[in-house]
C-alpha cells in the first residue's frame, strides 16, 4: 500500500514503522476500494499518524467523544500556522473527522448512549398515524415532524412537560418564531402542523379538542404573491456558465435541465434511478414526491444528450440512484445538495430572485408553458399537480395576455 502511495523511501519507512500498522492498512485499503483517489489516500495516511500521536497508540483503543474533542483542541493549539494564513472558521474540522471515521471503522470509538427525548413517544405516535392512517408523503411527514418537534423542544427547554401543553404555550411559541426571521407563510404552515398534532392528541385523549380549534396562524391570502422564477434567457445563461469538462458541472447541467424542462422538484431529481431512463422508448419515468405516483414523459433530445454525457463521467459505484457525489465516498445526492448547487449558481449569475433554489426553475418551466398557450390543466399535468387550484396562480404570471384582456374594447357597450 505505502509503496504505491509514496515515492520517498523515508516517507514510506515512517508509515511502515509507525504504530497500528495493520489497522491503518486495513482502513486505507477499504477507502481505496470505495474509490478514493491516490492524493486523498496520501492525506489520510498522514492524518492517521497525527491521530496516533495525539491520542497515544495504547489509549486510542478506548476513546470517547470527550477525549476526542480534547485531543482535537490540543492539536489545533500546538500546530504551526503561517502568519499570512487566516484562522479557520471551524478549526476542529481539521482533525476530528479523520480520527472519528477511522476509530468508528475499527469499532474503537465509544459513542455516547443517546438519551431519548421525553416527548419522543408523542412525536413518534403522531408520525406513525400520519404515515399509516393519513397516507401522507414522507416529505410532508418530515416537515410536520420538524414543526411539532420544535414546539416540544421549546416547551421542555422552558421546564414544562408534554402533557401540560396548553394554548398559551402554542401562542407564545408562534409569537417567538414570528419575531425572528420566519416568514408569514412559514408560521402559517407551522400553525397548521400544530393544529393537526393537537387534533391527533385529542383523539388519543392527551388534550381537549378545543386547543386545536383555537390555534391561529397569520393570515395568508390565497394567490397573494406571484411565483418567482428566472427568465428563460437566464436559464440559458445558467446552462452556458457550466464547464463541459468539469464532472460536477456536467452532472449539474443534467440536473438543471430536468428541473427547468420538466418542472421537477428537487426531491424528485435526487431520487431518480438509473432504470427510470428508458432509452429505447425515449421516455423518462418520474416518481412524484407528494403522490408517489409515476409519471411518464418523453425524453427530450437535448436532455437525453446531457444525461448521456453525465453517465460517461458518473463514478462507477453500486448506487442505483442516477445522481451521485462526484468524489469518494460515492453516494446518492440529497435534495439539499440539489438546492445548494442550483442556489449557488443562480446567485453567482446575479439573477434577481428572492429565492434562488431549484423550485424557482419549476416556476420558470410553468411560466414558459403559460406563455406558449398551454391550458392550466395541461400545465398541472406537466408539474404533477393533483388539484387545478395549485396551477391557477400561474395564470397571473402571463402579464402580457392579462393586459390584452384589460385593453379589450367592448365597442361602447356598458
Domains of the chain: 2-110 (no CATH), 120-214 (1.10.150.130), 232-402 (1.10.443.10)
Which residues are CB-contacts of 88 (< 8 A; sequence separation ≥ 6)?
A: 94
Asked if 362 is an active-site residue, the reply is yes
Q: What is the pTM of this model?
A: 0.71
Asked if 359 is an active-site residue, the reply is yes
Which residues are CB-contacts of 254 (< 8 A; sequence separation ≥ 6)?
A: 303, 306, 307, 309, 310, 323
Choosing from 24, 251, 345, 385, the catalytic residue is 385
Asked if 297 is an active-site residue, the reply is no
pLDDT at 28 over 60: yes
Which one has a higher pLDDT value, 90 or 337? 337
pLDDT at res. 151: 94
Asked if 290 is an active-site residue, the reply is yes
Choosing from 251, 314, 335, 362, the catalytic residue is 362
Conformation bin of residue 159: beta by default, left when phi > 0, alpha when psi is -120 to 50: left
Which one has a higher pLDDT value, 288 or 49? 49
Nearest to 71 by CA among 88, 53, 58, 57: 53
Asked if 385 is an active-site residue, the reply is yes
Q: Would you place residue 92 in the very low, low, confident or very high pLDDT band (cuts 50, 70, 90)?
A: very low
Terminal Cα distance for the chain, rounded: 90
Choosing from 290, 295, 331, 392, the catalytic residue is 290
Cell numbers for 318: 453500486
Residue-wise pLDDT for 122-147, tens only, equals 999 999 999 999 988 888 899 999 99
Strands 63-64 vs 109-110: parallel, antiparallel or unpaired: parallel
Asked if 265 is an active-site residue, the reply is yes
pLDDT at res. 404: 44
Torsion of CA 118, 122, 125, 127, to 10 degrees: -100
Choosing from 122, 262, 310, 394, the catalytic residue is 394
pLDDT at 412 over 80: no
Choosing from 314, 359, 363, 368, the catalytic residue is 359
pLDDT at res. 137: 83
pLDDT at res. 289: 75
pLDDT at res. 410: 43
pLDDT at 319 over 60: yes
Average predicted confidence (pLDDT) for the chain: 82
Using CA atoms, how far apart are residues 38 and 102, in angstroms rounded to an integer? 18
pLDDT at 221 over 70: no
Choosing from 24, 265, 363, 368, the catalytic residue is 265
Amino acid at each position: 500500500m505505502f509503496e504505491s502511495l509514496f515515492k520517498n523511501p523515508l516517507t514510506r519507512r515512517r508509515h511502515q514503522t509507525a504504530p497500528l500498522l495493520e489497522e491503518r492498512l486495513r482502513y486505507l485499503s477499504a477507502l481505496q476500494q470505495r474509490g478514493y483517489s491516490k492524493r486523498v489516500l496520501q492525506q489520510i495516511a498522514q492524518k492517521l499518524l497525527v491521530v496516533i500521536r495525539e491520542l497515544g497508540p495504547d489509549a486510542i483503543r478506548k476513546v470517547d467523544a470527550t477525549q476526542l474533542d480534547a485531543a482535537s483542541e490540543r492539536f489545533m493549539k500546538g500546530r504551526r500556522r503561517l502568519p499570512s494564513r487566516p484562522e479557520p472558521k471551524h478549526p476542529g474540522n481539521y482533525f476530528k473527522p479523520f480520527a472519528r471515521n477511522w476509530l468508528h471503522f475499527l469499532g474503537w470509538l465509544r459513542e455516547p448512549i443517546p438519551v431519548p427525548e421525553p416527548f419522543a413517544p408523542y412525536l413518534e405516535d403522531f408520525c406513525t398515524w400520519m404515515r399509516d392512517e393519513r397516507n401522507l408523503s414522507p416529505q410532508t411527514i418530515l416537515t410536520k415532524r420538524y414543526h411539532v418537534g420544535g414546539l416540544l423542544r421549546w416547551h421542555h427547554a422552558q421546564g414544562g412537560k408534554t402533557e401540560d401543553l396548553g394554548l398559551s404555550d402554542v401562542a407564545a411559541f408562534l409569537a417567538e418564531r414570528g419575531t425572528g426571521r420566519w416568514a408569514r407563510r412559514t408560521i402559517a404552515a407551522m400553525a397548521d402542523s400544530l393544529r393537526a398534532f393537537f387534533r391527533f392528541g385529542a383523539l388519543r385523549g392527551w388534550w381537549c379538542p378545543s386547543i386545536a380549534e383555537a390555534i391561529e396562524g397569520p393570515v395568508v391570502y390565497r394567490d397573494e404573491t406571484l411565483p418567482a422564477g428566472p427568465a428563460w434567457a437566464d436559464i440559458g445563461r445558467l446552462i452556458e456558465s457550466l464547464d463541459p469538462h468539469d464532472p460536477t458541472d456536467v452532472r449539474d447541467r443534467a440536473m438543471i435541465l430536468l428541473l427547468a424542462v420538466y418542472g421537477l422538484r428537487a426531491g424528485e431529481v435526487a431520487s431518480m434511478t438509473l432504470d427510470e431512463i428508458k432509452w429505447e422508448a425515449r421516455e423518462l419515468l418520474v416518481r412524484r414526491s407528494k403522490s408517489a405516483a409515476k409519471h411518464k414523459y418523453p425524453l427530450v433530445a437535448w436532455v437525453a444528450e446531457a444525461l448521456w454525457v453525465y453517465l460517461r463521467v458518473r463514478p462507477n459505484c453500486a448506487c442505483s440512484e442516477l445522481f451521485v457525489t462526484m468524489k469518494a465516498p460515492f453516494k446518492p445526492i440529497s435534495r439539499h445538495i440539489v438546492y445548494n448547487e442550483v442556489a449557488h449558481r443562480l446567485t453567482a449569475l446575479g439573477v434577481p430572485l428572492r429565492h434562488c433554489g431549484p423550485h424557482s426553475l419549476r416556476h420558470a418551466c410553468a411560466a414558459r408553458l403559460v406563455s406558449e398557450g398551454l391550458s392550466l390543466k395541461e400545465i398541472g399535468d406537466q408539474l404533477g399537480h393533483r388539484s387545478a387550484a395549485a396551477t391557477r396562480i400561474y395564470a397571473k404570471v402571463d402579464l402580457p395576455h392579462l393586459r390584452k384582456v384589460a385593453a379589450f374594447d367592448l365597442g361602447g357597450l356598458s
